[in-house]
Amino acid sequence: MPALPQTTAKKLGLVIDLDTCVGCQACATSCKEWNTQGYSAPLADEDTRGPDPHGPWLNRIHGYEVEDTNGKDSRDVHFPRSCLHCETPACVTVCPTGASYKRAEDGIVLINPDTCIGCKLCSWACPYGAREYDVQEGVMKKCTLCVDRIYNENFEPEDRQPACVKACPTGARHFGDLGDENSAVSQLVKERGGFDLLPEMGYKPTNKYLPPRAKRDTPQAGIEALPKGDGSAMDRLFKLADRLLSGN
């Protein structure tokens, strides 16, 4: 059984704000276009012009309408789904060839395409559905956290971030070291009550999600109701007009 590093120097990961994500798919297509020529190249598609176009994507956005308990009100949530780079990922330990591994340096979970045999055991082991089988290549594909961008010296330092984070128009995606409690992402998780997906599975995901904020569709404290119609509106407006004159 492939071993996991006891600890990693960093815990690089994503923090995804479900309150701000509008489901625009920018992160999905940016991921696809970078990775189809990056570490995971190619992410080739099948039946691109036909009835069932499909291919591997390392990041997919799902939209859910979540009903409130009354069954009438609802909240629309856009949920980006990709590898969570777990601290104890079953997808690594289940791999029969050792192709799946977790980097000791930064905690990124990767697949070595040279030794992956495409047996799909890892995709069965992952409860998050984060791994996809590439039919054309015969290997598994997954989020690399853009390992070939974040350290890439050919980029300006500010561009050394995952393609999905760089793309996100609403700023709902954040990248950083979740092992450093002082990092911006750790602080954000703390402030906003960031949470793990399926913590009960025990895989300790590195990526965190920020919950939607409470709706504000009820009377707010400190905002006075306007006076009800009492037939004196015109008087009020004339008085207002008079006050304007005294200012002239």
169 part of the interface to another protein, by CB under 8 A: yes
Per CB under 8 A, the list member of 91, 122, 167, 189 interacting with another protein is 167
195 to 234: interface string for another protein, x by CB under 8 A = -----------------xx-xxx-xx-xxxxxx-x---xx
Spatial separation of the C-alpha atoms in residues 39 and 144, rounded to whole Å: 8
153 part of the interface to another protein, by CB under 8 A: yes
CA separation, residue 135 to residues 45, 56, 97, 139 (Å): 9, 8, 19, 7
Buried (b) or exposed (e) across 79-113, using 16+ Cβ within 10 A? bbbbbbbbbebbbbebbeeebbbbbeebbbbbbeb
Q: Which is nearer to another protein, 182 or 225 (CB)?
A: 225
The token pair at 134 is 């590439």
Number of Cβ within 10 Å of residue 5's Cβ equals 14
Contact between 134 and 57 under an 8 Å Cβ cutoff? The reply is no
123 part of the interface to another protein, by CB under 8 A: no
Per CB under 8 A, the list member of 12, 14, 16, 21 interacting with another protein is 21
Per CB under 8 A, the list member of 11, 13, 36, 205 interacting with another protein is 36
103 to 122: interface string for another protein, x by CB under 8 A = xx-----x-xxx--------
Q: Which is nearer to another protein, 31 or 178 (CB)?
A: 31
Per CB under 8 A, the list member of 157, 200, 221, 244 interacting with another protein is 244
Per CB under 8 A, the list member of 96, 129, 138, 171 interacting with another protein is 171
Spatial separation of the C-alpha atoms in residues 35 and 213, rounded to whole Å: 32
44-103: contacts with another protein (CB under 8 A) = 44-45, 48-51, 53-55, 57, 61, 63, 65, 67, 72-78, 98, 101, 103
Q: Which is nearer to another protein, 200 or 234 (CB)?
A: 234
Q: Could you check whether the bond before residue 42 is cis, i.e. omega within 30 degrees of 0? A: yes
34 part of the interface to another protein, by CB under 8 A: yes
239 part of the interface to another protein, by CB under 8 A: yes
Q: Which residues pair with 63 in a beta bridge?
A: 78
User: What phi, psi does 133 have (nearest 5°)?
Assistant: -90, 130
